[in-house]
Amino acid sequence: MLRKIAIAIAAIIALSHSVSAHAESWFEVEVFVFERQQPSVEKWLNATPPKLSKDTVDIITPVISTDITGVSVGLKGCTSTDWTNDASNCNDPNISKSTATHPSQVPFDVAASKPQTAHLGQGPLLLAQSQSKFSDIIRTIQREPYVKSLVHLTWQQNMQSRRRAKPIRIYGGKDFSKSFEYHGLSVKKPSQTETMPSTDLSALGDFYEAPKINPVWELDGSINIYLSHYLYIESNLALRKPTQKMVESSPLAFNEYAALDIEGKKQLAPYLESIPLIQNRRVRSGEIHYFDHPQLGIVMQIRKMAQPTNIKPIDLTERSSASQPVPYTG
Name which of 285, 46, 61 is nearest 170 in CA terms.
61
Q: What is the pLDDT of residues 38-53, one digit of tens each?
A: 887 777 888 999 999 9
Co-location of 154 and 228 in the same domain = yes
198 and 85, same domain (yes or no):
no
Q: Which domain holds residue 274?
A: 26-62+104-250+265-321
Q: How far apart are CA 122 and CA 312, in angstroms?
A: 8
Q: Pick 326 or 234 by higher pLDDT.
A: 234
Question: In terms of domains, do 169 and 73 share one?
Answer: no
Question: What's the pLDDT band for 66 if we cut at 50, 70, 90?
Answer: confident
- Domain end marker among 53, 74, 101: 101
| 293 domain-assigned | yes
Q: Do the domain assignments include residue 200?
A: yes
Of residues 328 and 174, more confidence is placed in 174
- Please give the tally of structural domains in the chain: 2
Sign of CA dihedral 119, 124, 128, 132: positive
Identify whether residues 170 and 274 lie together within a single domain. yes
Instruction: Quick: pLDDT tens for 95-107.
Output: 444 556 899 999 9
In a domain, 135, yes or no: yes
Residue 50 lies in a domain: yes
Q: What are the CA-CA distances from residue 158 to residues 97, 127, 167, 242 (Å)?
A: 32, 14, 12, 37
Both 52 and 79 in one domain: the answer is no
Please indicate, yes or no, whether residues 86 and 178 belong to a single structural domain of this protein: no
**Same structural domain for residues 78 and 160?**
no
Q: What is the pTM of this model?
A: 0.77
Residue 70 lies in a domain: yes
In the sheet with 266-283, reading across from the earlier edge strand, the strands are 266-283, 230-248, 217-228, 168-175, 57-58, 326-327
Least confident of 117-121, 198-202, 230-234, 244-248: 198-202
Whether 326 shows a pLDDT value over 70: the answer reads: no
Do both 237 and 293 map to the same domain?
yes
Instruction: Give the residues across from 280 on adjacent strands.
Output: 234
Instruction: Say yes or no: 274 and 245 in one domain.
Output: yes
**Does residue 13 form part of some domain?**
no
How does DSSP classify residue 167? P
Q: Which of 76, 101, 126 is the last residue of a domain?
A: 101
Residue 62 backbone phi and psi in degrees, to 5: -60, -20
Q: Is the pLDDT of residue 324 over 80?
A: no
Encode pLDDT of 293-319 as tens digits. Answer: 999 999 999 999 999 999 988 866 654
Q: What is the mean pLDDT of residues 245-253?
A: 70
Other beta carbons within 10 angstroms of residue 120's beta carbon come to 19
Answer with the one of 82, 101, 120 that is the final residue of a domain: 101
Position 243 in a domain: yes
Statement to judge: residues 127 and 97 lie in one domain: no
Task: Say if residue 174 is in the same domain as residue 94.
Answer: no
Say if residue 47 is in the same domain as residue 163.
yes
Burial class (CB in 10 A: 0-12, 13-18, 19+), 270: middle
Pairing of strands 66-67, 100-101: antiparallel
- Domain membership of residue 49 (yes or no) is yes
